[in-house]
Amino acid sequence: MAGLHFASALSSAALAIGLALPQPLLAQSRVPTQSIDPFGQEVTMTARPIVYVAGTGTWDAALETLTGAFKRLDAYLDKAGLKASGPAMTIYTATTNTDFKFEAAVPLAAPPKAPPDHDILVGESPSGRALKFVHRGTFRDLGQTYEAIANFFDARGLDIKGVLIEEYVTDLASAPDTKLLVNVLVPPR
């Protein structure tokens, strides 16, 4: 039942991100992918050490909230002399129609030796089976991709485990607006 609530919230979040688009247009818009992009490809996520910032945000200010969290992480990595060992990611731990809880994370080769700053935490990235979906386009257009993901899950009678991961192949803060490339990883129940 929790998976169904999360899938409903996923669909609501998709609509919230695409606020400027009328409802009928969302269902008819083409999801900006390329023929080689996986859409529902099964993958196995491997746990990796991460440093992260946990927080909450609203969908109206999602991009600003997340880029702010990644800037804090980048400043910490620079200060500590650490390098990322993979793309930055947002781990959504809960969503509603208006807001979300998240962990903005950067993977490392090994956990940091010294304790991080007070608002930076150390942990592990999610692991296990997931379905991979690729998004190309703007951050705001992610709503269309999430709507397509919700439809994919509904059509197959699948439930979402309760966490969503956005892995940023291009930098969320510096990629040109229309050139964002995101792997969305969704663990099924």
Q: What's 48's domain CATH number?
A: 3.20.80.10
pLDDT at position 144 = 94
pTM of the model: 0.82
pLDDT at position 174 = 87
87-125 as b/e, with b when 16 or more CB fall inside 10 Å? bbbbbbeebeeebbebbbbbbbeeebeeebeeebeebeb
Of 40, 37, 14, 13, which is closest to residue 25 (Cα–Cα)? 14
Range of the domain at 48: 2-186
Count of domains forming the chain:
1
pLDDT at position 3 = 41
pLDDT at position 115 = 85
Instruction: State the Cα–Cα distance between residues 159 and 155, nearest whole angstrom.
Output: 11
pLDDT at position 178 = 85
pLDDT at position 162 = 85
Backbone angles phi, psi at 167, to 5 degrees: -105, 120
pLDDT at position 6 = 44
Q: Which residues of the chain have pLDDT under 70?
A: 1-35
Instruction: State the Cα–Cα distance between residues 70 and 76, nearest whole angstrom.
Output: 10
The answer to whether the CB of 136 falls within 8 A of the CB of 155 is no
Identify any residues that bridge with 90 across adjacent strands, giving them in sequence order: 104, 166
**DSSP structural state of residue 160:** B
47-97 pLDDT, tens digit per residue, is 999 999 999 999 999 999 999 999 999 999 999 999 999 999 999 999 999
pLDDT at position 23 = 36
Instruction: State the Cα–Cα distance between residues 101 and 58, nearest whole angstrom.
Output: 9
pLDDT at position 131 = 97
Instruction: State the Cα–Cα distance between residues 111 and 98, nearest whole angstrom.
Output: 34
Cβ within 8 Å of residue 91, ≥6 positions away: 52, 102, 103, 105, 125, 126, 163, 164, 165
pLDDT at position 10 = 53
Of 182, 172, 169, 163, which is closest to residue 124 (Cα–Cα)? 163
Instruction: State the Cα–Cα distance between residues 28 and 5, nearest whole angstrom.
Output: 24
